[in-house]
Structure 1
Amino acid sequence: MVAHTLKLSHDGIRARAHTWVEAAPEGMVIQFKEPTRSLDQNAKLWAMLGDVAKQAEHNGNRYTPEVWKALFMSACGYELNLLVGLNGEPVPMGTSSSKLSVGKMSELIEFISFWCVENGVTLSDRGF
């Protein structure tokens, strides 16, 4: 069976969802979840991470935006493991920010903003 996804955005979609629930066979699994982060949130996150990478150090080291993302995700309580890469480099593996809900992504962005203020990182205004 093909999986179907509906975004509850108006009464017509809600009515369709109700119809599908009524017609669903016994044993069908229905999942409700919050929408994932928006493209604007993603763009803002990467702009912020770029600013941090250019201006900040951690334990005397400068890091790429990808590593800073892993550090911030870990600081916010998201599971993170560091693997040893094929060339001996650390490779962060853990929760993907693309899987975060809009609310959780807002919390991550807010945490990074506060961290930047506390650590003297100036965030560029890129239209957000």
Structure 2
Amino acid sequence: MAQTIILRGQSQRDFAKALLDRAPADAVVTIKAASRTNDQNALMWCLLSDLSRAKPEGRLHTTEVWKQLVMHACGHAVQFELGLNGQPFPTGFKSSRLTKNEMSDLIEWTYQYGAEHGVVWTDPESRRAA
């Protein structure tokens, strides 16, 4: 039987340890950082839309290309392929694989880049959700 535990406090840690003690031979245990939240994802797409409309430095990109550019700027491995029409398009790393902290860093970098390039955010209150 599979178990998922979010380690928020000592009681969850104690429960996880008890499960480990009772685990059968050859059981598989995976511990990973929490994934990005739906609110973070929604905020990121709003920011990417604002970047796309603002065209900082004259850059005319779709939101998907902006996402890859921001991810690359934050140190995530992404790549671009040349499409059949001769235009580059992003492939590879997906933001759904980011942890909450990585997504937060991506959002903060996007805010900083936008501030440096005069981007007007459509929802200034959304910054508090990051």
Would the TM-score normalized by the shorter structure come out above 0.5?
yes
Pairing partner for 1:105 from 93, 97, 103? 103
In the alignment, the residues of structure 1 paired with residue 123 and residue 59 of structure 2 have an alpha-carbon distance, to the nearest angstrom, of 25
Give the root-mean-square deviation of aligned CA atoms: 2.2
Aligned residue in 2 for 1:41: 40
**TM-score scaled to structure 2, two decimals?**
0.82
Structure 2 gap ranges (5+): none
Any conservation in 2 of the 1:47–1:126 contact (CA below 8 Å)?
no
In the alignment, the residues of structure 2 paired with residue 78 and residue 122 of structure 1 have an alpha-carbon distance, to the nearest angstrom, of 26
Q: Residue deviations 1:41-82, cap 9 Å, x none? A: 101100000000001145x44111000001010111100111
Secondary structure of residue in 2 paired with 1:98: helix
Structure 1 gap ranges (5+): none
User: How many residues align structurally?
Assistant: 126
Q: Post-superposition shift, 1:83? A: 2.0
Pairing partner for 1:119 from 117, 120, 124? 117
Q: Which has the higher helix share?
A: 2
Aligned residue in 1 for 2:74: 76
**TM-score scaled to structure 1, two decimals?**
0.83
AA partner of residue 118 (structure 1): E
